[in-house]
Structure 1
């Protein structure tokens, strides 16, 4: 795509003082949208995400986890314990529009990087905090990760096979969903700042965000007067028959025939291709309430019908009658999927040491600009000197800070 318009956040400077996943993901998104994102890391080991698999390069020197979450950023590594490092950080934040952090509430106050102090210096600053429980409430002081929020939110309890412990979700739902909500909130405050001239403190909690995801469970419980509690249902949805996962002769697939018209087409197809006589004409099953009431009967028919066929055959039959369905794909199949390739959902970057990298793209699509990030994630402290120079430090001051380890990088 040709760049017809500037990227939406061009001219916005972001200080990414975060680690691991939720915060770095916010920074990655803002960089893709055109912001200048400066990744600030502690000297020595840097972001803890650098120690997270998958590792590549000589002596496993590079983390794929870090490369994915920090592409498009500039790298600064500064020792805040030294007064010169603290002065540099203050100048950097004074020049910034956005500050992103995901430490336990109160941790950055001790470094002089809390919202009260930074906003007093820079009233236009949009300060985004991400934590497990938020900055208020009885649990605000507690540490937590996405796993903790997934368990406490009620989401984990709803998935899995009845009678067995819930499975791990295997994707970082809490971090990523909170991260993209933080991106939305940051953009909202940036827009509001054009009217007020002032930023705000955004307080995002993993636990809050996952509770907000309940499009069904909370309202069912509250509106039923506490009678309706979600339970594990295994491989289908008891309140949306037919909607679930089925095993074919050579793999698994999903079928979404829960809408009345789709069900009628599906049931007629099953009957026409070896299913029970009268299955398609059974008016008991033509409305959702009837299908839910006869769920066990329906599942026994559909499971047997699918099990005798290969995945490709079932999908072809269902495509022919416009009933949504899909194979349960492995990651290698996802990456080879022509739809994913056509949508540019795998980005290729040229790394100076590792060569060509293939990493997941972000799903932003704009008519006037391309948000694909080609700039690889920075080495630890890669842009120290350039950033310090932009902030007004002389070459002599920069050299002294490099020699003393205040500015830390591989070269110094």
Structure 2
């Protein structure tokens, strides 16, 4: 095994909640030294998010593992000096404040790049640093609503459901990881860093694989609508009810449909002209879906249905509940839930990142830092003496949970 690919890269994570912290979490997992910078007393707002156990947020633990913790009060000149020294030694700076907010403190890209022209500065915001909405605040929900995704999920005539997973934040975070690594690679050639401007709204719009291009390519004639648990333009591809739960079936391809049809209706259905070819199946979508729904409802159980579909070579899967996911042998085999030692909570199990390398072992990162946990060691690395560090503690320039 060799050193992790980002070993030697120093990242300042001056972000909160999700997109920024998730981005820097991935960089930490890949070997970067990530320093989580927080404000006194409350720290990252994510520390107050559920699930809370003994006053500690699982949300914060998940998105900030593998990082070191620095907590300072920028109202103090010494804290500003420490932050400036830190940024001069950094390779990457991650922030997710409103555009222009950090410039007021001398922490904007132009300010920091003067002393550190190789700095890769990643900004995350709801709408980006340009455009008529650039100064508006927003969360992932705002981007998910505005991008059109919510308008095409759920049942027609009903309010769209919430995704219940932070798609905008996580998707922006992983895009940010890719952009940062690309900028670091480019720096090897030019010596210069970059300002990376990431918008939650942009990232959600970029996720459209069909709806938006379908509208554009049809000159506005194809306007996707809510279709509930069925895709009328991709028959059969949807969700079905078993007597004891739900499952999904993906039989939209000709040969897969034939296998499914033969299973539920024999050769007569497999040779039914209404369903031969994707265009015919889509034209008779309601009839095809009704046949599959009736067959599923008539079976003994979801497990029995899945066993028959698997034997017939038809792609299908259960709609698993969260407890089923947590105890799925496939998830265990892939290491997608890791166990950490936490100094206060003991053993903690949390979702892992999906990176798998042939030549790197990412291991288990250390637990997310307590507020200001690494103040002294970070300040010492930056050349502050023991007396200066003690003075900063006394004045409140540095803050640490007791």
Aligned residue in 1 for 2:319: 328
For residue 284 of structure 1, report the CA deviation from its aligned partner: 2.8
Distance 1:29 1:265 in 2: 42
For residue 209 of structure 1, report the CA deviation from its aligned partner: 0.4
Q: Deviations over 1:196-240 (max 9, x none)?
A: 000000000000000001110111111111100010001011110
Do residues 251 (structure 1) and 245 (structure 2) align?
yes
Distance 2:2 2:278 in 1: 48
SS of the residue 2:269 aligns to: coil
Aligned residue in 1 for 2:333: 342
Aligned residue in 1 for 2:43: 46
Return the TM-score normalized by structure 2: 0.99
Do residues 28 (structure 1) and 25 (structure 2) align?
yes
- Unpaired runs of 5+ residues, structure 2, are none
Distance 1:256 1:168 in 2: 24
User: Where do 4+ consecutive residues of structure 1 move more than 3 Å?
Assistant: none
Q: Deviations over 1:63-86 (max 9, x none)?
A: 110001000000000111111000
Return the TM-score normalized by structure 1: 0.96
For residue 30 of structure 1, report the CA deviation from its aligned partner: 0.4
Counterparts of 1:272-287 in structure 2 under 5 Å? 272=266, 278-287=268-277
Q: Deviations over 1:370-411 (max 9, x none)?
A: 224330000000000000000000000000001111100013
SS of the residue 1:279 aligns to: helix
Aligned residue in 1 for 2:106: 112
Counterparts of 1:121-160 in structure 2 under 5 Å? 121-160=115-154
Q: Deviations over 1:114-150 (max 9, x none)?
A: 0000011100000000000000000000010000000
Distance 1:193 1:346 in 2: 35
Distance 2:262 2:369 in 1: 57
For residue 358 of structure 1, report the CA deviation from its aligned partner: 0.2
Residue among 168, 182, 189 paired with 2:183: 189
- What do you get for the CA RMSD once the two structures are aligned? 0.8
For residue 280 of structure 1, report the CA deviation from its aligned partner: 1.7
Do residues 389 (structure 1) and 380 (structure 2) align?
yes
- Unpaired runs of 5+ residues, structure 1, are none
- Give yes or no for contact 2:29–2:365 (8 Å, CA) kept in 1: no
Aligned residue in 2 for 1:204: 198
Distance 1:26 1:150 in 2: 19
- Give yes or no for contact 1:162–1:232 (8 Å, CA) kept in 2: yes
Aligned residue in 2 for 1:292: 282
Do residues 11 (structure 1) and 1 (structure 2) align?
no
